[in-house]
Amino acid sequence: EESAARVVLTSLLACLPAGPRVYFLKGGYETFYSEYPECCVDVQPISQEKVETEKALMSQCGKPVLSISYRPAYDQGGPVEILPFLYLGSAYHASKCEFLANLHITALLNVSRRLSEACATHVHYKWIPVEDNHTADISSHFQEAIDFIDCVREKGGKVLVHCEAGISRSPTICMAYLMKAKQFRLKDAFDYIKQRRSVVSPNFGFMGQLL
């Protein structure tokens, strides 16, 4: 049967030089992503219409054509739970209403330079603009961010903290919260968050401000 997977496999085998092997992932993409998110890109599902087009092109040209759109690793999956009321993710995650609804997110804390619109009117939105460079003063916003997170928690809500990629600024805010509210040491806070979102990598300036 000419399934979408077979079309992709045929394309890969035709494009790759002799020697490399192509494997199907045991447990599927979701299982592989849960263990190795930094190795992943997002592959949009191939519609049946695209499959038929690919097959037609293959029959006419004799060569398979592979048309797959990619999403960076930091936008893979969905927001991750840091605490029962605290989630971490990217701007892409924050823009997806289905993520917010499924996780019962009631508030967004945006610490990027770009103001984005909340996708639902019932979501409480706070914007703290911060540059992502080693000279940016993120520590001056720690207390404001912590107070906002605590306010959401006290009301029984859940907050998603995000920046653009969910790699530097928003993880720093989550680390600051763990250190202040849960008395984590810096290394413990970093390791705790890294275990849940492996792509996090706060810049050295931010790490220094957490000391």
Region of residue 183 (left: phi > 0; alpha: psi -120 to 50; beta: else): left
pLDDT of residue 68: 46
Residue 69 within a domain: no
Counting the structural domains of the chain, the total is: 2
Residue 41 within a domain: yes
Residue 68 within a domain: no
Do 124 and 46 lie in one domain? The reply is no
Domain final residue, candidates 19, 39, 61: 61
Do 142 and 202 lie in one domain? The reply is yes
Listed residue (72, 60, 56, 70) closest to 7, CA to CA? 56
pLDDT of residue 66: 47
Do 56 and 89 lie in one domain? The reply is no
pLDDT of residue 26: 73
Residue 130 DSSP code: -
Are 181 and 173 contacting, i.e. CB atoms less than 8 angstroms apart? no
Are 174 and 146 contacting, i.e. CB atoms less than 8 angstroms apart? no
Domain, as residue range, for 42: 4-61
Do 53 and 83 lie in one domain? The reply is no
Do 108 and 205 lie in one domain? The reply is yes
Do 52 and 91 lie in one domain? The reply is no
Predicted TM-score (pTM) of this structure:
0.67
Token look-up 């398979």 returns 64
Q: Cα(139)–Cα(63) distance, rounded to whole angstroms?
A: 56
Residue 98 within a domain: yes
Do 42 and 112 lie in one domain? The reply is no
Do 142 and 96 lie in one domain? The reply is yes
Residue 32 within a domain: yes
Do 87 and 54 lie in one domain? The reply is no
Are 170 and 206 contacting, i.e. CB atoms less than 8 angstroms apart? no
Q: What is the pLDDT along the chain (211 residues), one digit of tens a residue?
A: 456 666 666 766 666 666 566 677 777 766 776 666 656 655 444 455 555 655 555 555 555 444 444 567 777 788 999 999 999 999 999 998 888 999 999 999 999 998 876 665 568 999 999 999 989 999 999 999 999 999 999 999 999 999 999 999 999 999 999 999 999 999 999 999 999 999 999 999 999 999 9
Q: Which residues are catalytic?
A: 163
Domain final residue, candidates 12, 34, 61: 61
Listed residue (133, 136, 149) closest to 182, CA to CA? 149
Bridge partner list, 162:
89, 110
Are 102 and 119 contacting, i.e. CB atoms less than 8 angstroms apart? no
Residue 111 within a domain: yes
